[in-house]
Amino acid sequence: MTEQLKGKVNYSTQGNIAILEVDNPPVNPLSSGVRAGLSEYILKANSDDSIEGIILTGAGRSFIAGADISEFGQKPDGPDLHTALREIEFSKKPVVAAINGTALGGGLETALVCNYRIGTNKAIVGLPEVNLGLLPGAGGTQRLPRLIGPSQALKMMLAGTPMSAKKALDQGVIDAISENSLIEDAILFLQDKIGLDEHPKVRDKNDKVIEARGDNNILAEARALAAKTRRGQFAPGQIIACVEAAINEDNFDDGMKKEADYFLECLVNPQREAMIHIFFGERAASKIADIPKETPLHPINKAGVVGSGTMGGGIAMLFANAGIPVLVLDQDEDNLKRGMGVIEKNYKMMVDRGRMLEEQKDAVMQLITPTLTYEDLSEVDIVVEAVYENLDLKQEIFQKLDTHTNANAILASNTSGLDIDAIASSTSRPGKVVGTHFFSPANIMRLLEVVRGEESSDETMATVMALGKKMNKASVVSLNAPGFIGNRMLSGYTYQANMLLLEGALPNQVDNALESFGMSMGPFRMMDLVGLDLGWRARKLAGIESPLVNKISDELCEQDRFGQKNARGFYNYSEGSRAPNPAPENEDIYKSISEKHNFVRREISDQEIIDRCILALVNEGAQILSEGVAQRSGDMDIVYINGYGFPIWRGGPMCYANMLGLDEVTKRMEEFAKSDEKFWKISPLLTKLATEGSRFGEAPSKEEREAKLSFKDSKNMGGV
Ligand code: 3H9
């Protein structure tokens, strides 16, 4: 094998069987050396007369994790995958895929060109390309429908979620599960097949696709599913078109040609770049630049949660789902009972929706134990405090935790904005104190902001990041600065939405514009959901006059319109429904407040709405980056996609700005600055990158480099 190629395939023999082992750690993607190795060794096994069967497997924990994602968008290098797969498919000697771990994307597609597939009971198979803005482009859209039927194949490809070995066996994706030694079982399996005149090829199994011809429901259902679950995405339509070809083309290779054309269209679509940016961005975000990879982790075998409300309950579920026994503490017995009831109800809902088996529910519920006393927390390795936002109360709780937990336990606060250092100062172990800002509902939302206090130790940070991974969270580190990353950026976004309302737009125009941009919920629907009265009450309590930007929402509160909670806010809600209906009765309020504050209401274009709200995120993001509050621009994209409903196919606000061009971004901001100079102070980092013709996260400018380097030292507590 040539040295420059990436990854390799190991070749060995056991009697009359050749074993090809893909070796490209950590997860064996189909990089250039793997593609070359597969071709070379299939040919070698075929030309060796002593060999009668071939096993294809993977080294380590993965079979093959798919195509090498880092190659997309780069100049093609080395032999192509289709050649290697053809060699396997047309091998004279039978080939069995011995699936030892994850067989994803091109990995499963490789298994589908083998004559047989056998997996361990830990094997995972799937075609997740849709999550990268792609379609299975190595024959998956043509072979999977032939194997399991177009309807099931479409569901699997549109969901992009992997399935267990057991499910794969039930559906016919694999032929057998090995309960013992996979290679030994694969050899036995093959010995049984050697000598047969013919070995099955998935490409020849036409029954299921022919049966689907003329059944319009299959494609219509897939389109409905894609519209519901993948709004705005390009790849799902392409996947459906490929399966349509699998159903209707008489010749398998004609379907393959269509797949290749549709794949190419995905490849050049900007959504592909955006979604792959998120794939790598999520993995980058989980690393902390100045904390070595080898940092020892504090083992988390038992956890505690203080507070049994919505957040506390959701966090307890996360521990239990990760297999970690958890104590839920509340000082009020009724609250605790209610909280445990809500947890049970949430799990029951999952069972009812087929997302969990009854016995799984019983198993996780067994891991959650209610308690009324701090003494019970003496053995836990971590506690997450999740009570309401009040510094005095949190400090009091942390003092108790410091007294009652063992000295090594990590103490985390789920605060969404209080100063972690102030909380840590109430303990004797500030190095063990950290912020874990989960988003509501914690058991569903993927974002976790891990807030690094002045003294949070490397071990504490590394342990919490690893815990986040175990909980399947997208974890992002933020320095301890007001609003952390997400809420600080959000303030400019909602500011702009409120100003647009004062200037002449209506809530549903703003919401519709941003939802058609791809946001999962417009800002006014979001404000109604959160409750308009929170800020209003806080201002009243503190005797603060409403700032201009809140004049309208505060007036709505004065008129008893608090949002969804009392069925009227910016919108009206029918009883028991969360669907917003226009509230024309509010329009007089908007008009009179605008007039009172000297705004001449005007027509505002949807483009202006999108630009002002989204570019406000970008500008604050650039500022956060230059202050070192976030480590890298991609982290802000991860925050916005996983916590704030930003469309994944746009790659997050910073990626969106990159794609728009930073010079164009600054030009539009300069235009807005003409009417609101105070708000539109363009971040010097953004200006610098735009002037250099650079992008966020790419060829970092001096400022961006320095921002990263100063991450640990910077602690700007100002300027939300
Ligand atoms: C495809 O197959 C297209 C074809 O249909 C058509 C072709 C013509 N490539 O996630 P982890 C890296 S598209 C390159 O932390 P885990 C990853 O960046 C592909 N690199 O591990 C990370 O690097 P680093 C379809 C990859 O155990 C390291 O490996 N396949 C790839 O939590 C460890 O990753 C997929 O979409 C790759 N394919 O999870 C599967 N995969 O250490 C994508 C991973 O530098 N992969 N890396 O940060 C996964 O879902 C998970 O990685 C997996 C392991 C479940 C496999």
Give tens-digit pLDDT for 478-520. 999 999 999 999 999 999 999 999 999 999 999 999 999 999 9
Average pLDDT over residues 439-443: 94
3-state helix/strand/coil string of 697-711: CECCCHHHHHHHHCC
Ligand 1 centroid – CA 276 distance (Å): 10
Residue 213 CB neighbours (<10 A):
10
Predicted confidence band at 139 (pLDDT cuts at 50, 70, 90)? very high
Q: What is the DSSP string of 605-632?
A: -HHHHHHHHHHHHHHHHHHHHHHTSBS-
Ligand 1 centroid – CA 104 distance (Å): 8
CA 348 to CA 354: how far, in whole Å? Answer: 10
Average pLDDT over residues 26-36: 97
Residue nearest to atom 11 of ligand 1 (CA): 283
Average pLDDT over residues 67-95: 93
Taking 90 as the threshold, does the pLDDT of residue 18 lie above it? yes
Taking 60 as the threshold, does the pLDDT of residue 703 lie above it? no
pTM score, two decimals? Answer: 0.94
CA 359 to CA 365: how far, in whole Å? Answer: 10
Predicted confidence band at 714 (pLDDT cuts at 50, 70, 90)? very low
108 lines ligand 1 (CB under 6 A): no
User: How is domain 505-596 classified at the architecture level of CATH?
Assistant: Orthogonal Bundle (1.10)
| All structural domains of the chain with their residue ranges | 2-268, 303-480, 505-596
The CATH fold assigned to 2-268 is 2-enoyl-CoA Hydratase; Chain A, domain 1 (3.90.226)
Predicted confidence band at 706 (pLDDT cuts at 50, 70, 90)? low
Residue nearest to atom 44 of ligand 1 (CA): 27
Confidence (pLDDT) at 704: 52
Average pLDDT over residues 122-149: 98
39-44 contacts: CB < 8 A, separation 24 or more? 39/79, 39/83, 39/84, 39/87, 40/1, 40/9, 41/9, 41/11, 42/84, 42/87, 42/88, 42/91, 42/95, 43/87, 44/11, 44/18
70 lines ligand 1 (CB under 6 A): yes
* Max Cα distance, the chain (Å): 92
CA 191 to CA 199: how far, in whole Å? Answer: 13
Predicted confidence band at 701 (pLDDT cuts at 50, 70, 90)? very low
CA 316 to CA 307: how far, in whole Å? Answer: 10
> Across all residues in the chain, what is the average pLDDT?
94
| Atom number, ligand 1, closest to the C-alpha of residue 279 | 18
Which one is predicted more confidently, 355 or 504? 504
Taking 90 as the threshold, does the pLDDT of residue 372 lie above it? yes
Share of the chain above pLDDT 70, in %: 96
- The set of residues, in sequence order, having a beta carbon less than 8 Å from that of 680 and lying 6+ positions away, is 619, 669, 670, 672, 673
Contact 1, 44 (CB under 8 A): no
Ligand 1 centroid – CA 67 distance (Å): 8
CA 575 to CA 633: how far, in whole Å? Answer: 42
Homologous superfamily assigned to 303-480: NAD(P)-binding Rossmann-like Domain (3.40.50.720)
Pocket test for ligand 1, best of 27, 38, 143, 475 (most atoms within 8 A of CB): 27
128 lines ligand 1 (CB under 6 A): yes
Least confident of 96-105, 113-122, 573-582, 652-661: 573-582
Residue nearest to atom 4 of ligand 1 (CA): 106
CA neighbor of 191 nearest in space, from 441, 15, 30:
15
Taking 50 as the threshold, does the pLDDT of residue 717 lie above it? no
Average pLDDT over residues 143-166: 97
287 lines ligand 1 (CB under 6 A): no
Share of the chain above pLDDT 90, in %: 93
Ligand 1 centroid – CA 90 distance (Å): 28
| Atom number, ligand 1, closest to the C-alpha of residue 70 | 14
Residue nearest to atom 9 of ligand 1 (CA): 68
Predicted confidence band at 77 (pLDDT cuts at 50, 70, 90)? confident
CA neighbor of 94 nearest in space, from 205, 187, 204:
187
- Provide the token pair at 97: 């895929």
Catalytic residue ranges: 437
Write down the number of H helices and E strands in the chain.
30, 18
Taking 60 as the threshold, does the pLDDT of residue 48 lie above it? yes
Ligand 1 centroid – CA 105 distance (Å): 9
Average pLDDT over residues 37-53: 97
- The set of residues, in sequence order, having a beta carbon less than 8 Å from that of 37 and lying 6+ positions away, is 1, 7, 8, 9, 11, 20, 22
CA neighbor of 283 nearest in space, from 70, 499, 592:
70
Taking 70 as the threshold, does the pLDDT of residue 3 lie above it? no
